[in-house]
Amino acid sequence: MTYIFHRHATSELPTVSSSLIENDVTAQSSLRYLPYDDAVETIPPDEDHTVEEIIASLARVSRTLAKRYEHAVRPSHGKSHGLLKGTLTVLPDLPGPFAQGLFAAPRTYSLVARLSTEPGELLADTIHTPRGISLKVIGATGPMISGHEGEITQDLLLSSGRRFAVADLKGFLRVQRFLEGISGLPEGVKQAGTALGFAANKALHLVGSDNVLLDFFGHPHTHPLGESYFSQAPLRYGRYVAKLGLFPVSEELQKFVGTTLDPSSGTSVLKDAVVAHFAERGARYELRVQLRTSAETMPIEDASVEWPEDESPFVPVAEVAFPPQDAYSRARQVFADDRLSFTPAHSLAAHRPLGSLMRGRLKAYGAIAALRTELNATRRVEPRSLDEIPD
Ligand code: HEM
């Protein structure tokens, strides 16, 4: 598809106008990208209370796990499968609506990425669970969101699946309470639970490829390097609003797409697969942006709704590349688990996270990462250069 757009490249924050609607023309259709507006969110009156309850529950789970492992771990996406050093290169000649914020001009940034799986516990890889990748782009310039002035990192936290399992913070609190309730159960019971859920839903034909139920009840044992990853929730994209996706494009990654790993073949199958790959080869992904074109079909407050790609496709804006490297040296593992934290709050104002779940995340990640480092008597590091990441 060829794109012809108006050019509104900006690295500065634009003037916000609620009446502005851009008319942008593609070769095949006329897309109208809805402009960002400070009033694009709808905040329920009791939201602060919901966020406090979520953080309190996450903190209790963190303390329970810290006792079990004699070491504090993330209460979500606790298990690392690799820490990668790489680059993010903004593509040249981006059409105006896509040349915004971090992507306003062609440039190569340093980047560090952590691969993970969803549970807070360090469960065996036989568990059926979504995969995650967190990107930390180093060297971002421009105003950051409030409370993060002076920082230079843009974090992008992405998970497998195009939408989140629940709509908003109220839904998240319900799931979190359930997870807290089972956090004391033995590992074997949880393994059996996810396997059962997966099998039952497969039998009922509820689980199709890229179906959100598949992630909720049990993700198949996919190769983490063959997955596509999504922001699931929206963020500001300069003058517009977007969701993001990271897609494997290089030949060496393509061969993993749609493949699964045998989780019973070892205790750390996912990490071993990642390490084996990067010992010999590199990887290239495309970061793609889906701009919001409809208030009806592309809600801000409900992250469980997939924005239809036939209304607005994902368009490539940057290449993310990783050279061959030791993806999980002991030094990197310690650094990823104990020193680094990724959060949607490490963000340019031009990419302000949006919607119910995002607002909760802005408060939760910092509070929980602070607790984690306090329990481990260590100090968080926000890298200003890749030299700070151990080999
Ligand atoms: C769009 C929905 C979401 C996605 C895609 C997502 C993804 C992720 C990812 C990839 C990580 C790993 C971060 C790392 O590598 O350090 C993570 C961790 C975490 N998530 Fe989420 N998440 C979502 C929603 C939420 C919500 C709604 C909350 C709570 C309000 C939450 C709380 C946490 C916490 C507390 C951590 C651990 C932070 C730390 O200890 O450093 N997440 N999430």
Asked whether residue 190 is assigned to any structural domain, the reply reads: yes
Residue 262: per-residue pLDDT: 83
Q: What is the mean pLDDT of residues 149-167?
A: 96
Distance CA 84, CA 325 (A): 8
182 — pLDDT class (breaks 50, 70, 90): confident
Taking CA atoms only, the protein residue closest to ligand 1 atom 12 is 77
Lowest-pLDDT choice from 65-69, 91-95, 102-106: 65-69
CA of 75 to the centre of ligand 1 (A): 9
Asked if 326 contacts 391 with a C-beta cutoff of 8 angstroms, the reply is: yes
Which atom belonging to ligand 1 lies closest to the Cα atom of 114?
15
388 phi, psi to nearest 5 deg:
-80, -10
Residue 49: per-residue pLDDT: 98
Residue 188: per-residue pLDDT: 59
21 — pLDDT class (breaks 50, 70, 90): very low
Model pLDDT for residues 118-135, shown as the tens digit of each residue: 877 677 776 768 899 999
Percent with pLDDT over 90 in the chain: 73
Q: Is ligand 1 within 6 A of the CB of residue 79? A: no
CATH number at residue 199: 2.40.180.10
Asked whether residue 389 is assigned to any structural domain, the reply reads: no
Residue 267: per-residue pLDDT: 78
Q: Is ligand 1 within 6 A of the CB of residue 335? A: no
192 — pLDDT class (breaks 50, 70, 90): low
Residue 204 or 51, more confident: 51
Model pLDDT for residues 305-362, shown as the tens digit of each residue: 999 999 999 999 999 999 999 999 999 999 999 999 999 999 999 999 999 999 999 9
Q: Is ligand 1 within 6 A of the CB of residue 357? A: yes
Q: How many domains does the chain have?
A: 1
185 — pLDDT class (breaks 50, 70, 90): low
H or E element, residue 35 = none
Q: Any bridge partners for residue 137, and if so which?
A: 111, 154
H or E element, residue 30 = strand 30-33
Asked whether residue 147 is assigned to any structural domain, the reply reads: yes
87 — pLDDT class (breaks 50, 70, 90): very high
Asked whether residue 388 is assigned to any structural domain, the reply reads: no
Q: Identify which of 153, 337, 361 to mutate to test ligand 1's pocket (most ligand atoms within 8 A of the CB).
A: 361
Model pLDDT for residues 246-296, shown as the tens digit of each residue: 999 999 999 999 998 887 777 789 999 999 999 999 999 999 999 999 999
Q: Is ligand 1 within 6 A of the CB of residue 134? A: yes
Q: Which domain holds residue 123?
A: 47-378
pLDDT at 7 over 80: no
Query: Quick one: which of 12, 25, 34, 70 has its CA closest to 296?
Result: 34
Distance CA 77, CA 227 (A): 16
pLDDT at 206 over 80: no
Residue 169: per-residue pLDDT: 98
Residue 183: per-residue pLDDT: 74
Q: Is ligand 1 within 6 A of the CB of residue 341? A: yes
C-alpha 386, offset from chain centre: 20
Asked if 109 contacts 156 with a C-beta cutoff of 8 angstroms, the reply is: no
Residue 119: per-residue pLDDT: 76
Q: Is ligand 1 within 6 A of the CB of residue 132? A: yes
Report the chain's mean pLDDT, rounded to a whole number. Answer: 86
Q: Is ligand 1 within 6 A of the CB of residue 57? A: no
| Residue 119, SS3 per DSSP | strand
pLDDT at 176 over 80: yes
